[in-house]
Structure 1
Protein backbone atom coordinates (compact mmCIF):
# COMPACT_ATOMS: atom_id res chain seq x y z
CA UNK A 1 0.00 0.00 0.00
CA UNK A 2 2.87 2.42 0.80
CA UNK A 3 4.00 2.21 -2.82
CA UNK A 4 0.86 4.05 -3.94
CA UNK A 5 1.08 6.91 -1.41
CA UNK A 6 2.44 10.32 -2.33
CA UNK A 7 5.33 11.91 -0.39
CA UNK A 8 3.06 14.31 1.57
CA UNK A 9 0.86 11.39 2.60
CA UNK A 10 3.90 9.40 3.73
CA UNK A 11 5.09 12.32 5.86
CA UNK A 12 1.71 12.46 7.57
CA UNK A 13 1.86 8.73 8.36
CA UNK A 14 5.53 8.53 9.35
CA UNK A 15 5.69 11.87 11.12
CA UNK A 16 8.11 14.80 10.61
CA UNK A 17 11.72 14.06 9.74
CA UNK A 18 14.08 15.27 12.48
CA UNK A 19 17.11 17.04 11.04
CA UNK A 20 20.41 15.89 12.52
CA UNK A 21 22.29 18.73 14.24
CA UNK A 22 25.39 19.87 12.39
CA UNK A 23 28.55 18.70 14.13
CA UNK A 24 31.40 21.07 14.86
CA UNK A 25 34.99 19.95 15.52
CA UNK A 26 36.72 22.00 18.18
CA UNK A 27 40.36 21.40 19.04
CA UNK A 28 41.54 21.62 22.63
CA UNK A 29 44.03 20.15 25.08
CA UNK A 30 43.81 18.55 28.48
CA UNK A 31 43.70 21.56 30.81
CA UNK A 32 41.53 20.67 33.80
CA UNK A 33 39.37 22.12 35.21
CA UNK A 34 38.73 24.15 32.03
CA UNK A 35 38.96 21.13 29.73
CA UNK A 36 39.30 17.51 30.87
CA UNK A 37 39.50 14.56 28.48
CA UNK A 38 38.70 12.15 31.31
CA UNK A 39 35.22 13.63 31.74
CA UNK A 40 32.47 12.61 29.35
CA UNK A 41 31.31 16.25 29.12
CA UNK A 42 34.84 17.54 28.43
CA UNK A 43 35.14 19.83 31.46
CA UNK A 44 33.74 23.21 32.49
CA UNK A 45 34.46 25.24 29.33
CA UNK A 46 33.42 22.36 27.10
CA UNK A 47 30.07 22.26 28.93
CA UNK A 48 29.62 25.98 28.38
CA UNK A 49 30.56 25.94 24.69
CA UNK A 50 28.46 22.85 23.98
CA UNK A 51 25.45 24.48 25.64
CA UNK A 52 25.83 27.69 23.63
CA UNK A 53 26.06 25.84 20.33
CA UNK A 54 23.29 23.40 21.28
CA UNK A 55 20.81 26.26 21.60
CA UNK A 56 21.74 27.22 18.02
CA UNK A 57 21.22 23.65 16.78
CA UNK A 58 24.85 22.47 16.69
CA UNK A 59 26.58 19.51 18.29
CA UNK A 60 30.24 19.79 19.31
CA UNK A 61 32.94 17.13 19.09
CA UNK A 62 36.11 17.95 21.04
CA UNK A 63 39.42 16.86 19.52
CA UNK A 64 42.28 16.63 22.06
CA UNK A 65 45.76 17.37 20.72
CA UNK A 66 48.87 19.30 21.82
CA UNK A 67 48.26 23.05 21.64
CA UNK A 68 50.59 23.75 18.72
CA UNK A 69 49.02 20.93 16.69
CA UNK A 70 45.56 22.41 17.29
CA UNK A 71 46.76 25.65 15.74
CA UNK A 72 48.11 23.84 12.68
CA UNK A 73 44.87 21.87 12.24
CA UNK A 74 42.83 25.08 12.48
CA UNK A 75 44.99 26.76 9.85
CA UNK A 76 44.55 23.73 7.56
CA UNK A 77 40.76 23.81 7.95
CA UNK A 78 40.54 20.50 9.84
CA UNK A 79 38.88 22.17 12.84
CA UNK A 80 36.08 24.72 13.12
CA UNK A 81 37.67 26.35 16.19
CA UNK A 82 40.17 25.82 19.01
CA UNK A 83 39.92 26.63 22.70
CA UNK A 84 40.72 27.93 25.25
CA UNK A 85 43.23 30.42 23.82
CA UNK A 86 44.20 33.98 24.65
CA UNK A 87 43.88 36.44 21.80
CA UNK A 88 47.55 37.35 21.32
CA UNK A 89 48.75 39.49 18.38
CA UNK A 90 50.48 36.52 16.76
CA UNK A 91 47.28 34.46 16.85
CA UNK A 92 45.40 37.21 15.06
CA UNK A 93 47.51 36.37 12.01
CA UNK A 94 45.45 33.21 11.49
CA UNK A 95 42.46 33.45 13.84
CA UNK A 96 39.49 35.52 14.92
CA UNK A 97 38.56 35.57 18.59
CA UNK A 98 35.26 35.10 20.34
CA UNK A 99 34.06 37.19 23.25
CA UNK A 100 35.57 36.29 26.62
CA UNK A 101 34.56 32.94 28.12
CA UNK A 102 36.36 33.38 31.45
CA UNK A 103 39.52 35.10 32.64
CA UNK A 104 42.62 33.01 33.32
CA UNK A 105 45.20 34.03 35.90
CA UNK A 106 48.80 33.03 35.13
CA UNK A 107 51.05 32.76 38.19
CA UNK A 108 54.51 31.36 38.91
CA UNK A 109 54.63 28.08 40.80
CA UNK A 110 57.69 27.23 42.87
CA UNK A 111 58.75 24.79 45.57
CA UNK A 112 57.53 25.53 49.07
CA UNK A 113 61.05 25.23 50.46
CA UNK A 114 62.46 27.75 47.94
CA UNK A 115 62.51 31.41 48.92
CA UNK A 116 61.23 33.24 45.86
CA UNK A 117 60.03 36.74 45.09
CA UNK A 118 59.79 38.76 41.91
CA UNK A 119 58.47 42.06 40.57
CA UNK A 120 59.31 42.15 36.86
CA UNK A 121 60.35 39.59 34.24
CA UNK A 122 63.92 40.86 34.69
CA UNK A 123 63.90 39.18 38.09
CA UNK A 124 63.39 35.78 36.42
CA UNK A 125 66.52 35.72 34.26
CA UNK A 126 68.58 33.62 36.67
CA UNK A 127 65.95 30.93 37.26
CA UNK A 128 65.37 27.68 35.39
CA UNK A 129 61.81 27.82 34.06
CA UNK A 130 59.67 24.95 32.80
CA UNK A 131 57.13 25.85 30.09
CA UNK A 132 54.74 24.06 27.76
CA UNK A 133 54.94 24.23 23.97
CA UNK A 134 52.15 26.30 22.42
CA UNK A 135 51.47 28.35 25.55
CA UNK A 136 51.37 32.13 25.86
CA UNK A 137 52.26 33.49 29.29
CA UNK A 138 51.66 37.19 28.64
CA UNK A 139 53.39 39.87 26.56
CA UNK A 140 56.36 40.54 28.84
CA UNK A 141 57.23 36.88 29.42
CA UNK A 142 56.65 35.89 25.78
CA UNK A 143 58.89 38.72 24.55
CA UNK A 144 61.72 37.71 26.89
CA UNK A 145 61.27 34.06 25.87
CA UNK A 146 61.41 34.82 22.15
CA UNK A 147 64.48 36.98 22.67
CA UNK A 148 66.26 34.06 24.33
CA UNK A 149 66.75 35.91 27.60
CA UNK A 150 65.11 33.27 29.79
CA UNK A 151 66.55 29.89 30.80
CA UNK A 152 63.62 27.79 29.64
CA UNK A 153 63.03 24.06 29.34
CA UNK A 154 60.02 23.45 27.09
CA UNK A 155 57.97 20.26 26.97
CA UNK A 156 54.94 19.04 25.08
CA UNK A 157 53.10 17.43 28.00
CA UNK A 158 51.04 19.41 30.48
CA UNK A 159 52.39 17.83 33.66
CA UNK A 160 56.09 17.57 32.80
CA UNK A 161 57.09 20.93 34.26
CA UNK A 162 55.41 20.20 37.58
CA UNK A 163 57.22 16.87 37.80
CA UNK A 164 60.52 18.62 37.06
CA UNK A 165 59.70 21.31 39.61
CA UNK A 166 59.00 18.73 42.31
CA UNK A 167 62.33 17.03 41.51
CA UNK A 168 64.21 20.35 41.65
CA UNK A 169 65.26 20.22 38.00
CA UNK A 170 63.54 23.54 37.27
CA UNK A 171 62.88 26.43 39.67
CA UNK A 172 59.67 27.92 38.30
CA UNK A 173 56.67 26.94 36.24
CA UNK A 174 54.21 29.55 34.91
CA UNK A 175 50.70 28.16 34.80
CA UNK A 176 47.07 29.15 35.15
CA UNK A 177 46.28 29.10 38.86
CA UNK A 178 43.11 26.97 38.62
CA UNK A 179 44.79 24.55 36.21
CA UNK A 180 47.94 24.35 38.31
CA UNK A 181 46.21 23.28 41.49
CA UNK A 182 43.94 20.84 39.67
CA UNK A 183 47.04 19.27 38.12
CA UNK A 184 48.88 19.14 41.44
CA UNK A 185 45.95 17.37 43.09
CA UNK A 186 46.10 14.74 40.35
CA UNK A 187 49.89 14.35 40.38
CA UNK A 188 50.31 14.36 44.16
CA UNK A 189 46.95 13.30 45.62
CA UNK A 190 48.12 13.14 49.24
CA UNK A 191 49.39 16.68 49.77
CA UNK A 192 49.65 18.40 46.38
CA UNK A 193 53.42 18.09 46.48
CA UNK A 194 55.92 20.60 47.77
CA UNK A 195 54.64 23.28 45.38
CA UNK A 196 52.87 26.61 45.89
CA UNK A 197 52.35 29.74 43.78
CA UNK A 198 53.59 33.29 44.17
CA UNK A 199 50.66 35.68 44.68
CA UNK A 200 51.83 38.14 42.03
CA UNK A 201 50.13 37.54 38.68
CA UNK A 202 52.35 37.04 35.66
CA UNK A 203 49.38 37.76 33.42
CA UNK A 204 45.60 37.90 33.51
CA UNK A 205 44.12 37.02 30.15
CA UNK A 206 40.61 36.47 28.79
CA UNK A 207 40.24 32.91 27.46
CA UNK A 208 38.37 32.61 24.18
CA UNK A 209 37.27 30.40 21.33
CA UNK A 210 39.46 30.93 18.27
CA UNK A 211 38.01 30.54 14.76
CA UNK A 212 39.85 30.49 11.43
CA UNK A 213 40.58 33.85 9.82
CA UNK A 214 39.35 34.76 6.31
CA UNK A 215 36.75 31.98 6.28
CA UNK A 216 33.04 32.89 5.73
CA UNK A 217 31.74 29.93 7.75
CA UNK A 218 34.00 30.87 10.65
CA UNK A 219 32.69 34.43 10.63
CA UNK A 220 29.11 33.12 10.74
CA UNK A 221 29.89 30.70 13.57
CA UNK A 222 31.71 33.42 15.52
CA UNK A 223 28.78 35.84 15.32
CA UNK A 224 26.30 33.12 16.26
CA UNK A 225 28.44 31.95 19.18
CA UNK A 226 28.95 35.47 20.54
CA UNK A 227 25.22 36.16 20.39
CA UNK A 228 24.49 32.95 22.28
CA UNK A 229 27.27 33.59 24.80
CA UNK A 230 25.76 36.99 25.62
CA UNK A 231 22.49 35.26 26.48
CA UNK A 232 24.31 32.95 28.90
CA UNK A 233 26.03 35.98 30.41
CA UNK A 234 22.64 37.61 31.00
CA UNK A 235 21.53 34.51 32.91
CA UNK A 236 24.59 34.79 35.17
CA UNK A 237 26.27 31.64 33.86
CA UNK A 238 29.65 33.23 33.10
CA UNK A 239 29.82 34.90 36.50
CA UNK A 240 28.96 31.62 38.24
CA UNK A 241 31.56 29.75 36.19
CA UNK A 242 34.31 32.26 36.99
CA UNK A 243 33.49 32.02 40.69
CA UNK A 244 33.52 28.22 40.54
CA UNK A 245 36.94 28.26 38.87
CA UNK A 246 38.33 30.65 41.48
CA UNK A 247 37.08 28.50 44.37
CA UNK A 248 38.01 25.09 42.92
CA UNK A 249 34.39 24.02 42.35
CA UNK A 250 34.36 24.05 38.55
CA UNK A 251 33.66 20.31 38.27
CA UNK A 252 30.21 20.88 39.80
CA UNK A 253 29.29 23.87 37.62
CA UNK A 254 26.60 23.35 35.00
CA UNK A 255 25.19 25.87 32.47
CA UNK A 256 21.59 26.93 32.77
CA UNK A 257 18.94 26.12 30.19
CA UNK A 258 16.92 28.70 28.33
CA UNK A 259 13.32 29.18 29.40
CA UNK A 260 10.85 27.57 26.97
CA UNK A 261 8.91 29.98 24.78
CA UNK A 262 5.27 30.20 25.86
CA UNK A 263 2.82 29.01 23.23
CA UNK A 264 -0.90 29.65 23.00
Structure 2
Protein backbone atom coordinates (compact mmCIF):
# COMPACT_ATOMS: atom_id res chain seq x y z
CA UNK A 1 0.00 0.00 0.00
CA UNK A 2 2.86 2.37 0.82
CA UNK A 3 4.37 1.78 -2.63
CA UNK A 4 1.04 2.52 -4.30
CA UNK A 5 0.79 5.80 -2.38
CA UNK A 6 4.26 6.77 -3.61
CA UNK A 7 3.25 6.01 -7.19
CA UNK A 8 0.05 8.04 -6.85
CA UNK A 9 1.97 11.02 -5.52
CA UNK A 10 4.55 11.02 -8.30
CA UNK A 11 1.98 10.66 -11.04
CA UNK A 12 0.72 14.10 -9.99
CA UNK A 13 4.15 15.70 -10.29
CA UNK A 14 5.72 17.17 -13.41
CA UNK A 15 8.86 15.40 -14.76
CA UNK A 16 11.02 18.14 -13.24
CA UNK A 17 9.39 17.74 -9.84
CA UNK A 18 9.61 13.95 -10.06
CA UNK A 19 13.34 14.16 -10.81
CA UNK A 20 13.90 16.31 -7.75
CA UNK A 21 12.00 13.85 -5.55
CA UNK A 22 12.87 10.50 -7.19
CA UNK A 23 12.18 7.60 -4.86
CA UNK A 24 13.75 4.82 -6.95
CA UNK A 25 16.74 4.44 -9.26
CA UNK A 26 16.95 1.64 -11.82
CA UNK A 27 19.88 0.31 -13.82
CA UNK A 28 19.15 -0.49 -17.46
CA UNK A 29 21.47 -2.32 -19.86
CA UNK A 30 21.38 -0.81 -23.33
CA UNK A 31 23.10 -1.34 -26.68
CA UNK A 32 24.44 0.71 -29.57
CA UNK A 33 21.57 0.62 -32.06
CA UNK A 34 21.41 4.11 -33.51
CA UNK A 35 19.25 6.11 -33.76
CA UNK A 36 17.09 4.25 -31.25
CA UNK A 37 19.72 3.64 -28.56
CA UNK A 38 23.24 5.10 -28.40
CA UNK A 39 25.37 6.79 -25.77
CA UNK A 40 26.63 9.16 -28.50
CA UNK A 41 23.17 10.58 -29.10
CA UNK A 42 20.91 13.06 -27.36
CA UNK A 43 19.16 11.43 -24.39
CA UNK A 44 20.90 8.14 -25.29
CA UNK A 45 18.73 7.86 -28.41
CA UNK A 46 15.03 7.90 -29.25
CA UNK A 47 13.90 4.76 -27.39
CA UNK A 48 16.00 5.50 -24.31
CA UNK A 49 14.58 9.02 -24.17
CA UNK A 50 11.08 7.55 -24.03
CA UNK A 51 12.12 4.98 -21.42
CA UNK A 52 13.72 7.54 -19.10
CA UNK A 53 10.75 9.91 -19.43
CA UNK A 54 8.20 7.14 -18.86
CA UNK A 55 9.88 6.10 -15.64
CA UNK A 56 10.23 9.73 -14.59
CA UNK A 57 6.44 10.04 -14.81
CA UNK A 58 6.30 7.71 -11.78
CA UNK A 59 9.18 9.29 -9.88
CA UNK A 60 11.82 6.80 -11.02
CA UNK A 61 15.19 7.74 -12.50
CA UNK A 62 17.25 5.40 -14.66
CA UNK A 63 20.92 4.88 -15.41
CA UNK A 64 21.87 3.39 -18.78
CA UNK A 65 24.99 1.28 -19.28
CA UNK A 66 25.93 0.43 -22.87
CA UNK A 67 27.22 -3.02 -23.83
CA UNK A 68 26.78 -5.68 -26.49
CA UNK A 69 23.37 -7.26 -26.94
CA UNK A 70 24.61 -10.63 -25.69
CA UNK A 71 26.12 -9.07 -22.56
CA UNK A 72 22.99 -7.01 -21.92
CA UNK A 73 20.72 -10.06 -21.99
CA UNK A 74 23.10 -12.08 -19.81
CA UNK A 75 23.64 -9.30 -17.26
CA UNK A 76 19.91 -8.64 -16.90
CA UNK A 77 19.15 -12.35 -16.64
CA UNK A 78 21.65 -12.65 -13.78
CA UNK A 79 20.04 -9.74 -11.92
CA UNK A 80 22.80 -7.15 -12.49
CA UNK A 81 20.35 -4.86 -14.30
CA UNK A 82 16.66 -4.16 -13.86
CA UNK A 83 15.83 -4.16 -17.57
CA UNK A 84 17.20 -4.19 -21.13
CA UNK A 85 16.61 -1.47 -23.69
CA UNK A 86 15.22 -2.69 -25.94
CA UNK A 87 13.88 -5.66 -27.93
CA UNK A 88 11.29 -6.62 -30.52
CA UNK A 89 8.44 -8.81 -29.34
CA UNK A 90 9.56 -12.43 -29.73
CA UNK A 91 7.57 -15.31 -28.22
CA UNK A 92 10.64 -17.44 -27.49
CA UNK A 93 11.91 -14.76 -25.09
CA UNK A 94 8.81 -14.84 -22.88
CA UNK A 95 10.15 -17.56 -20.60
CA UNK A 96 12.90 -15.24 -19.37
CA UNK A 97 11.63 -11.69 -19.89
CA UNK A 98 8.50 -9.62 -19.52
CA UNK A 99 7.75 -7.51 -22.59
CA UNK A 100 6.48 -4.08 -21.62
CA UNK A 101 3.60 -2.43 -23.42
CA UNK A 102 4.75 -1.46 -26.94
CA UNK A 103 7.04 1.56 -27.13
CA UNK A 104 6.93 1.91 -30.91
CA UNK A 105 6.24 -0.01 -34.11
CA UNK A 106 9.03 -0.23 -36.67
CA UNK A 107 9.50 -1.82 -40.08
CA UNK A 108 11.71 -4.90 -40.38
CA UNK A 109 13.09 -5.07 -43.93
CA UNK A 110 15.66 -6.76 -46.15
CA UNK A 111 18.58 -4.86 -47.62
CA UNK A 112 20.09 -6.71 -50.57
CA UNK A 113 23.18 -6.65 -52.75
CA UNK A 114 21.94 -5.14 -56.03
CA UNK A 115 23.91 -7.58 -58.18
CA UNK A 116 23.41 -10.88 -56.39
CA UNK A 117 20.29 -10.40 -54.25
CA UNK A 118 16.65 -11.06 -55.12
CA UNK A 119 14.55 -8.38 -56.81
CA UNK A 120 11.31 -9.23 -55.02
CA UNK A 121 10.03 -11.87 -52.62
CA UNK A 122 6.71 -13.10 -51.24
CA UNK A 123 7.74 -15.91 -48.86
CA UNK A 124 10.90 -16.78 -46.94
CA UNK A 125 11.12 -20.14 -48.70
CA UNK A 126 11.98 -18.27 -51.92
CA UNK A 127 15.16 -16.92 -50.32
CA UNK A 128 16.91 -20.20 -49.51
CA UNK A 129 19.20 -19.97 -52.53
CA UNK A 130 20.57 -16.64 -51.25
CA UNK A 131 23.22 -16.14 -48.57
CA UNK A 132 21.62 -14.27 -45.68
CA UNK A 133 23.70 -12.35 -43.14
CA UNK A 134 22.38 -12.09 -39.57
CA UNK A 135 23.69 -10.37 -36.47
CA UNK A 136 24.92 -12.49 -33.58
CA UNK A 137 22.35 -13.15 -30.83
CA UNK A 138 19.60 -11.06 -32.49
CA UNK A 139 16.01 -12.29 -32.54
CA UNK A 140 14.32 -10.43 -35.40
CA UNK A 141 10.79 -11.84 -35.40
CA UNK A 142 9.24 -15.23 -34.66
CA UNK A 143 8.88 -16.23 -38.32
CA UNK A 144 12.34 -15.04 -39.31
CA UNK A 145 13.93 -16.65 -36.24
CA UNK A 146 12.51 -20.02 -37.30
CA UNK A 147 13.79 -19.52 -40.84
CA UNK A 148 17.31 -18.63 -39.66
CA UNK A 149 17.40 -21.63 -37.32
CA UNK A 150 16.42 -24.07 -40.06
CA UNK A 151 18.32 -22.65 -43.05
CA UNK A 152 21.95 -23.51 -43.80
CA UNK A 153 22.56 -20.50 -46.06
CA UNK A 154 22.66 -18.00 -43.20
CA UNK A 155 25.93 -16.52 -41.97
CA UNK A 156 26.37 -14.80 -38.60
CA UNK A 157 28.33 -11.55 -38.11
CA UNK A 158 29.14 -9.75 -34.88
CA UNK A 159 27.41 -6.46 -35.72
CA UNK A 160 25.04 -4.75 -38.12
CA UNK A 161 27.93 -2.78 -39.59
CA UNK A 162 29.82 -6.01 -40.29
CA UNK A 163 26.70 -7.37 -41.99
CA UNK A 164 26.38 -4.29 -44.19
CA UNK A 165 30.07 -4.55 -45.13
CA UNK A 166 29.57 -8.20 -46.10
CA UNK A 167 26.51 -7.24 -48.14
CA UNK A 168 28.35 -4.49 -49.99
CA UNK A 169 31.33 -6.75 -50.71
CA UNK A 170 29.10 -9.56 -51.99
CA UNK A 171 29.90 -12.02 -49.22
CA UNK A 172 26.15 -12.17 -48.55
CA UNK A 173 23.13 -11.41 -50.71
CA UNK A 174 20.52 -10.30 -48.21
CA UNK A 175 20.36 -8.86 -44.68
CA UNK A 176 17.35 -8.24 -42.37
CA UNK A 177 17.40 -5.10 -40.23
CA UNK A 178 15.17 -2.31 -38.97
CA UNK A 179 14.59 0.02 -41.93
CA UNK A 180 15.64 3.26 -40.26
CA UNK A 181 18.68 1.71 -38.56
CA UNK A 182 19.87 0.22 -41.85
CA UNK A 183 19.46 3.54 -43.62
CA UNK A 184 21.14 5.43 -40.78
CA UNK A 185 24.18 3.12 -40.65
CA UNK A 186 24.61 3.26 -44.41
CA UNK A 187 24.55 7.06 -44.34
CA UNK A 188 26.89 7.31 -41.37
CA UNK A 189 29.51 4.66 -42.08
CA UNK A 190 29.65 4.07 -45.83
CA UNK A 191 30.52 6.11 -48.92
CA UNK A 192 28.00 7.00 -51.60
CA UNK A 193 29.67 4.45 -53.90
CA UNK A 194 29.30 1.72 -51.30
CA UNK A 195 25.66 2.64 -50.70
CA UNK A 196 25.03 2.21 -54.43
CA UNK A 197 25.80 -1.50 -54.03
CA UNK A 198 22.71 -2.15 -51.89
CA UNK A 199 19.00 -1.55 -52.16
CA UNK A 200 15.85 -1.99 -50.09
CA UNK A 201 13.82 -5.07 -50.97
CA UNK A 202 10.04 -4.91 -51.23
CA UNK A 203 7.81 -5.84 -49.56
CA UNK A 204 8.94 -5.35 -45.96
CA UNK A 205 9.23 -8.42 -43.74
CA UNK A 206 6.86 -7.18 -41.05
CA UNK A 207 6.06 -4.37 -38.68
CA UNK A 208 7.42 -5.23 -35.25
CA UNK A 209 6.63 -3.72 -31.87
CA UNK A 210 9.48 -2.68 -29.56
CA UNK A 211 9.54 -3.20 -25.80
CA UNK A 212 11.45 -2.70 -22.58
CA UNK A 213 12.61 -6.17 -21.48
CA UNK A 214 12.32 -6.90 -17.76
CA UNK A 215 13.94 -10.12 -16.48
CA UNK A 216 11.40 -12.40 -14.83
CA UNK A 217 11.88 -13.35 -11.20
CA UNK A 218 14.63 -10.80 -10.60
CA UNK A 219 14.17 -8.18 -7.87
CA UNK A 220 10.97 -6.15 -8.16
CA UNK A 221 10.35 -7.25 -11.75
CA UNK A 222 6.57 -6.83 -11.69
CA UNK A 223 6.83 -3.42 -10.04
CA UNK A 224 9.40 -2.25 -12.62
CA UNK A 225 7.10 -3.43 -15.42
CA UNK A 226 4.02 -1.77 -13.89
CA UNK A 227 5.83 1.54 -13.32
CA UNK A 228 7.09 1.69 -16.88
CA UNK A 229 3.75 0.77 -18.41
CA UNK A 230 2.01 3.41 -16.29
CA UNK A 231 4.51 6.07 -17.28
CA UNK A 232 4.22 5.10 -20.95
CA UNK A 233 0.45 5.44 -20.72
CA UNK A 234 0.84 8.91 -19.21
CA UNK A 235 3.16 10.01 -22.03
CA UNK A 236 0.66 8.76 -24.61
CA UNK A 237 -2.23 10.62 -22.99
CA UNK A 238 -0.14 13.80 -22.88
CA UNK A 239 0.71 13.56 -26.59
CA UNK A 240 4.40 13.20 -25.80
CA UNK A 241 4.86 10.00 -27.82
CA UNK A 242 3.97 11.86 -31.02
CA UNK A 243 6.45 14.56 -30.10
CA UNK A 244 9.25 12.06 -29.56
CA UNK A 245 8.51 10.50 -32.96
CA UNK A 246 8.71 13.91 -34.60
CA UNK A 247 12.02 14.59 -32.87
CA UNK A 248 13.33 11.33 -34.35
CA UNK A 249 12.20 12.33 -37.85
CA UNK A 250 13.78 15.78 -37.40
CA UNK A 251 17.16 14.21 -36.58
CA UNK A 252 17.19 15.55 -33.02
CA UNK A 253 18.79 12.46 -31.50
CA UNK A 254 21.76 12.12 -33.83
CA UNK A 255 25.31 12.99 -32.79
CA UNK A 256 25.85 16.75 -33.39
CA UNK A 257 29.20 16.06 -35.07
CA UNK A 258 27.73 13.53 -37.50
CA UNK A 259 24.66 15.25 -38.90
CA UNK A 260 22.54 13.22 -41.32
CA UNK A 261 19.79 14.73 -43.45
CA UNK A 262 16.68 12.69 -42.65
CA UNK A 263 14.66 14.61 -45.24
CA UNK A 264 16.57 12.78 -47.99
CA UNK A 265 15.24 9.35 -46.99
Partners of 2:23 and 2:195 in 1: CA distance: 45
Which of 200, 212, 215 does residue 212 from structure 1 map onto? 215
Residue 143 of structure 2 aligns with which residue?
Answer: 140
Q: Map of 1:230-249 to 2, 5 A cutoff?
A: 230-242=233-245, 245=248, 248-249=249-250
TM-score by length of 2: 0.80
Residue 48 of structure 2 aligns with which residue?
Answer: 46
Give yes or no for contact 1:144–1:150 (8 Å, CA) kept in 2.
no
Residue 169 of structure 1 aligns with which residue?
Answer: 171
Give yes or no for contact 1:85–1:208 (8 Å, CA) kept in 2.
yes
* RMSD across aligned positions (CA): 2.2
**Larger-Rg structure:** 1
Partners of 2:88 and 2:63 in 1: CA distance: 21
Per-residue deviation at 1:159? 0.7
Per-residue deviation at 1:112? 3.5
Worse-superposed segment, 163-172 or 134-143: 134-143
Q: Map of 1:241-260 to 2, 5 A cutoff?
A: 241-242=244-245, 245=248, 248-251=249-252
Residue 153 of structure 1 aligns with which residue?
Answer: 155
> Does residue 1:196 correspond to 2:178, yes or no?
no
SS in 1 for 2:195: coil
Partners of 1:73 and 1:19 in 2: CA distance: 28
Per-residue deviation at 1:203? 2.2
For structure 2, list consecutive stretches of 5 or more residues without a partner in the other structure.
1-19, 255-265
SS in 2 for 1:251: coil
The C-alpha deviation readout for 1:20-67, integer Å capped at 9, x for no partner, is 653311112111111122125211111111112223222222122221
Count of equivalent residues: 233
Per-residue deviation at 1:82? 0.4
For structure 1, list consecutive stretches of 5 or more residues without a partner in the other structure.
1-17, 254-264
Worse-superposed segment, 54-63 or 30-39: 54-63
Which of 14, 25, 28 does residue 26 from structure 1 map onto? 28
Per-residue deviation at 1:206? 0.5
Partners of 2:58 and 2:178 in 1: CA distance: 31
Partners of 2:234 and 2:194 in 1: CA distance: 38
Per-residue deviation at 1:196? 1.9
